[in-house]
Chains A and B, each alone.
Chain A
Amino acid sequence: MSLAVLVAPSFDEASRYSYEWSREIVNHLQAKGFKVTDLSGRTVSRNEVEEALKQNPGAFLIFYNHGSEDCLWGSRTEKVVDLENVWMLSGREVYTCACLSAKKLGVKAYAEDCTAYWGYTDVFAFTTEALEEFKQFANIGIIIRIEGKSWLEAYEQAKALAEKLAEKLVSEGKYFSAVLIRRDAEILACYTEEHPPETKCLLRRIAVNLFGAKKGWKLGWNVIGSEAIHAAYGALTVISGRVNPILPLTYLFSFLFYQYVDVEPFKEKLGDIIEYCVGLVATTIAAMLTL
């Protein structure tokens, strides 16, 4: 029997809507013979989610609620999945209807051998005048997947549906909704073996080309593609007017730093500024040694 863990907390207005949308998915899963562990309709704790994942190896994880770049929220204060326990998504197919999580958490999940990660790279938006249309768009991916189609097909059909729904909303005079549903489709991401995350980072692209997508994304997770390095690289390139030889040393020092120091607790308080500081210190040391 196929297994699914469905997490759809409800604790504010937005999450009450996403919880309602998730009920359609429970029905679809059960109709297709899935055994569903349903943690929904209330605040959900990290322990509950971790326990459900442990009890259901290989199960789909389906999540409807708020998200951030690096986590999925079970309540206003508790992260149920984040970069610390993302390894629990290894070998699973993950479907999220949540803001932003495909930006960092989804990429990390992919690097940790998550089979598929469906999510959004920016803030997911919806309106009260087009709840049915936004529900259709939010649910279509997992419905198509449990019908037995591939994630790539689901992704293409979701994009096509958004376009169709936007046209319908325009014809009904629902212009805010039409714009927002197209935007949601634009920020939709689906990472699979055949459809890996994309990046603008030159070094990450080199790593992916050299070692393949999985290994290329695993390599130096905290270093390659980090904002600190981008900032340092950008500054050096602008100052020197060319690709700077200090860069490899900057990478080395940043890599060593992240290997031995856990910056996550500082990030809670200081945000990305901690990464800029690391980049700055690493660049300074590299420059002092090189010049």
Chain B
Amino acid sequence: MREIEIIIKALKVEAESKPNERIYLGFKSYTYKEFANMLNNHRKLDKETRKLVEDFLDNALKLFRQNSEFRNKMLKLAGVK
């Protein structure tokens, strides 16, 4: 499984476990589940939202590569480790 696929899978698990939490992005807001669903469908989104999602994934990937605790927890949540 590619790194980004692991991250998306793990974040979807986190989203499932936190149905009431929300993300605020400027004027827009999403439940974690709504946002997690956009992570692997972002090519179909409007330009502005797509950029936000791509930025989020870039940053998640950076954190995955730089922070071993984050990496291990993502692997565990995704069921890889």
Selected from B18, B27, B56, the residue in CB contact (under 8 A) with A179 is B56
In this assembly, does A124 line the interface, its C-beta being within 8 Å of a C-beta of chain B?
A: yes
**Inter-subunit contact B55/A170 (CB<8 Å):** no
Instruction: State whether A173 touches B24 (Cβ < 8 A).
Output: no
Q: Is the interface of A mostly helix, strand, loop or mixed?
A: helix
Of B20, B27, B29, B73, which one neighbours A175 at CB under 8 angstroms? B73
Closest Cβ of chain A to B48, distance in Å, is 8
Number of residues on chain B facing chain A (CB within 8 A): 28
Q: Is the CB of B18 within 8 A of A129?
A: yes
Cβ-based interface call for A83 (8 A): no
Is A270 on the interface with B (CB-CB < 8 A)?
A: no
Query: Which residue in A14, A99, A170 is a CB contact (below 8 Å) of B29?
Result: A14
Asked whether, in the complex, the Cβ of B24 is within 8 Å of the Cβ of A126, the reply is yes
List the 7 shortest-distance A-B pairs measured between CB atoms, nearest first. Answer: A183-B59, A99-B26, A123-B26, A129-B21, A179-B60, A14-B24, A170-B70
12 contacts between A and B (CB under 8 A): A13-B29, A66-B26, A123-B26, A125-B25, A126-B24, A127-B24, A167-B67, A175-B70, A176-B14, A179-B59, A180-B23, A182-B59
Using CB atoms and an 8 Å cutoff, list the residues of chain A in contact with chain B. 12-14, 17, 66, 99-100, 122-129, 166-167, 170-171, 173, 175-176, 178-180, 182-183, 186
B residues with a Cβ closer than 8 A to A are 10-11, 14-15, 18, 20-27, 29, 32, 35, 52, 55-56, 59-60, 62-63, 67, 69-70, 73-74
